């Protein structure tokens, strides 16, 4: 019922570090500290997405962030072109130490807290399927995929699909998307 994406004039007032063309951000998305967020062209952020990442977020072109997804933590997140984040995905650049050896709670301002923090990078054509969890230190090489309800905190090989908790390699992925990407870019140039 609520298909309301923010109009361009409102997006321009939010103070993004960069705002590309054809950016769609749903009115129910919660985005904190827009000055640390760089948006390429043809970025779509669906309903109920939360972006609260102190390290900043850089979006390339043709990026989709599905509804109810969360991007949070203290380090940077980078999305290469054609990255797709499905629904209910959690991307966390900081993980609390829950072993009991430290205090773990975002309200504790103390140098003896023990969260692990590391940037997360998604190269072009990376995908996270519904319900995936991406933790500090994950790195998606070109074309890598994390399957539904899977979790990763390490680098993934290019053009490979992973499933499970923790994620394990299950198969290679076709590189046809690279040819299709070029066809798409040629088509975009014809429309200009």
Domains of the chain: 8-191 (2.160.10.10)
Check residue 80 and give its pLDDT.
Answer: 98
Neighbouring CB atoms inside 10 A of 48's CB total: 16
Q: Could you report the per-residue pLDDT of 12-41, keeping only the tens digit for each?
A: 999 999 999 999 999 999 999 999 999 999
Check residue 20 and give its pLDDT.
Answer: 98
Q: How much is the pTM? A: 0.92
Pairing of strands 30-31, 168-172: unpaired
Using CA atoms, how far apart are residues 120 and 114, in angstroms rounded to an integer?
19
Q: Could you report the per-residue pLDDT of 137-146, keeping only the tens digit for each?
A: 999 999 999 9
- CA 60-142-36 angle, 5° bins: 30
The answer on pLDDT for 1 being more than 60 is no
Integer-rounded Cα Rg, in Å, for the chain is 17
The answer on pLDDT for 107 being more than 90 is no
Q: Could you report the per-residue pLDDT of 169-183, keeping only the tens digit for each?
A: 999 999 999 999 999
**What mean pLDDT is reported for the chain?**
93
């Amino acid at each position: 019922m609520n298909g309301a994406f923010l109009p361009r004039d409102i997006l321009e007032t939010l103070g993004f570090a960069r705002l590309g063309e054809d950016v769609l951000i749903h009115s129910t998305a919660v985005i904190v500290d827009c000055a640390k967020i760089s948006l390429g062209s043809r970025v779509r952020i669906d309903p109920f997405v939360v972006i609260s990442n102190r390290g900043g977020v850089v979006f390339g072109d043709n990026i989709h962030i599905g509804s109810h997804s969360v991007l949070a933590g203290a380090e940077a997140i980078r999305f290469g072109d054609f990255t797709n984040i499905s629904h209910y995905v959690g991307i966390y650049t900081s993980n609390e130490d829950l072993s009991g050896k430290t205090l773990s709670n975002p309200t504790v301002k103390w140098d003896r807290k023990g969260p692990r923090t590391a940037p997360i990078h998604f190269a072009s054509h990376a995908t996270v399927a519904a319900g995936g969890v991406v933790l500090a230190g994950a790195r998606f090489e070109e074309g890598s995929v994390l399957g539904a309800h899977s979790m990763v905190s390490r680098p993934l090989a290019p053009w490979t699909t992973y499933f499970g908790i923790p994620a394990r390699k299950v198969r290679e992925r076709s590189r046809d998307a690279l040819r299709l990407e070029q066809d798409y870019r040629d088509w975009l140039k014809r429309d200009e």
